Amino acid sequence: MIKKLSRNDLCWCGSGEKYKKCHMEQDLLLMDMKRKGCQIPPRKLIKTEKQIDGIRRSSQLTCRILDMLEERVRAGVKTIEIDSWVHEATVKAGAYPAPLNYKGYPKSTCTSINNVICHGIPDETVLQEGDIVNIDVTCILDGYYGDASRMYMIGEVSDEARKLVEVARECLTLGIEQVKPFNRTGDIAYTIEQHANSHGFSTVQEFGGHGVGLEFHEEPFVPHYGKRDAGMVLVPNMVFTIEPMVNAGSHKCRILADRWTAVTVDNSLSAQWEHTVRVTGDGVEILSQL
Ligand SMILES: [Zn+2]
């Protein structure tokens, strides 16, 4: 608690409502959970309606860019070309690509092929028939961040690759279904890991989802492995990504000499899908879809 509000004070959230009609009940519940040892979200992670509108617009732009790629990404395309398309579409929409120059990252998108888990840097690599590639796009529109990624299958892919891509997508869907007030990040994590494991796959531990919206990476970290009833409590108007990275073999990764590209230690295939989501009053809104 930052300041003790009385029932008839205006709520801290800026809604203009009296505290007793706005966040008082939630705060009392959270204080009770905190006493029981739960990790509760700091108030700065609870977005205002205006901020959510902005994050939704940015996330929808990200979605449209990923849609645009569906028609273009195919065998013979260089990942650097994909990067140019994303960059141009982002700038044309009056936005900026968040990855560009982020902590020294050199490109506007990440293109992660086959055994690359994430943060593959677009270059002269040519997509080949049978490849699976994750393309990760984050737009900054009017100061708000919208983050999503998808898998693209190049021509005919192996049965194993197709299965991995499908299971990774199911992991995202099942993880999103765990998003509701007073569930915890651990519920998302557990559900995703169990589903991947049930198909003989593993989930990456070093990377995960994250708070997003006003910055590229905010609290909380959203793991894709672990136990139920652990991690931060979810409350309405928190915004974060869910982005399970599912490996066909070992969950372990190593980072290449470029200091970005994360690959599977055993060179097994890896697949990932990502959405930006918001906790609503009784469930979840996927912001990065139209
Ligand atoms: Zn309020």
Q: For residue range 144-153, what is the model confidence (pLDDT) as tens digits?
A: 999 999 999 9
Please give the distance, rounded to the nearest whole angstrom, from the Cα atom of residue 284 to the centre of ligand 1.
19
Please give the distance, rounded to the nearest whole angstrom, from the Cα atom of residue 268 to the centre of ligand 1.
48
Please give the distance, rounded to the nearest whole angstrom, from the Cα atom of residue 52 to the centre of ligand 1.
15
Average pLDDT (155-177) is 98
User: Residue 252 falls within a domain, yes or no?
Assistant: yes
- How far apart are the C-alpha atoms of 31 and 1, rounded to whole Å? 8
Please give the distance, rounded to the nearest whole angstrom, from the Cα atom of residue 46 to the centre of ligand 1.
10
Roughly what angle, to the nearest 10 degrees, separates helices 49-72 and 79-92?
Answer: 140
CA-CA-CA-CA torsion sign (115, 259, 225, 139) = negative
Residue pair 86/97 in contact by the 8 Å Cβ criterion? yes
Q: For tokens 């677009």, what's the residue?
A: 122
- How far apart are the C-alpha atoms of 195 and 201, rounded to whole Å? 9
CA 167, chain centre distance (Å) = 17
User: Residue 12 falls within a domain, yes or no?
Assistant: no
Please give the distance, rounded to the nearest whole angstrom, from the Cα atom of residue 108 to the centre of ligand 1.
37
Please give the distance, rounded to the nearest whole angstrom, from the Cα atom of residue 6 to the centre of ligand 1.
13
Residue pair 231/219 in contact by the 8 Å Cβ criterion? no
Please give the distance, rounded to the nearest whole angstrom, from the Cα atom of residue 90 to the centre of ligand 1.
34
CA-CA-CA-CA torsion sign (10, 13, 17, 18) = negative
Q: What is the pLDDT of residues 47-86, one digit of tens each?
A: 999 999 999 999 999 999 999 999 999 999 999 999 999 9
User: Residue 247 falls within a domain, yes or no?
Assistant: yes
Please give the distance, rounded to the nearest whole angstrom, from the Cα atom of residue 174 to the centre of ligand 1.
30
Residue pair 228/259 in contact by the 8 Å Cβ criterion? no
Q: What is the pLDDT of residues 272-282, one digit of tens each?
A: 999 999 999 99
For residue 189, what pLDDT is reported?
Answer: 98
Residue 1 has pLDDT above 80, yes or no: no
Count: domains in the chain: 1
Residue 172 has pLDDT above 70, yes or no: yes
- 3-class DSSP assignment, residue 104: helix
CB atoms within 10 A of CB 80: 15
Please give the distance, rounded to the nearest whole angstrom, from the Cα atom of residue 26 to the centre of ligand 1.
9
Residue 196 has pLDDT above 90, yes or no: yes
CA 84, chain centre distance (Å) = 22
Q: What is the pLDDT of residues 231-244, one digit of tens each?
A: 999 999 999 999 99
Residue pair 133/123 in contact by the 8 Å Cβ criterion? no
Angle (CA) 141 278 5, round 5°? 100
Domain encompassing residue 241: 44-286
Please give the distance, rounded to the nearest whole angstrom, from the Cα atom of residue 170 to the centre of ligand 1.
34
Average pLDDT (246-264) is 97
103: left (phi over 0), alpha (psi -120 to 50) or beta: left
Please give the distance, rounded to the nearest whole angstrom, from the Cα atom of residue 19 to the centre of ligand 1.
6
- 3-class DSSP assignment, residue 249: coil
User: Residue 26 falls within a domain, yes or no?
Assistant: no
Please give the distance, rounded to the nearest whole angstrom, from the Cα atom of residue 24 to the centre of ligand 1.
7
Residue 266 has pLDDT above 70, yes or no: yes
Residue 255 has pLDDT above 80, yes or no: yes
Average pLDDT (172-198) is 98
CATH of the domain at 62: 3.90.230.10
Please give the distance, rounded to the nearest whole angstrom, from the Cα atom of residue 23 to the centre of ligand 1.
4
The band of 102, judged by pLDDT with boundaries at 50, 70 and 90, is: very high
Please give the distance, rounded to the nearest whole angstrom, from the Cα atom of residue 289 to the centre of ligand 1.
27
User: Residue 242 falls within a domain, yes or no?
Assistant: yes
The band of 109, judged by pLDDT with boundaries at 50, 70 and 90, is: very high
User: Residue 260 falls within a domain, yes or no?
Assistant: yes
For residue 4, what pLDDT is reported?
Answer: 78
- How far apart are the C-alpha atoms of 227 and 233, rounded to whole Å? 13
User: Residue 261 falls within a domain, yes or no?
Assistant: yes
User: Residue 153 falls within a domain, yes or no?
Assistant: yes
Please give the distance, rounded to the nearest whole angstrom, from the Cα atom of residue 166 to the centre of ligand 1.
40
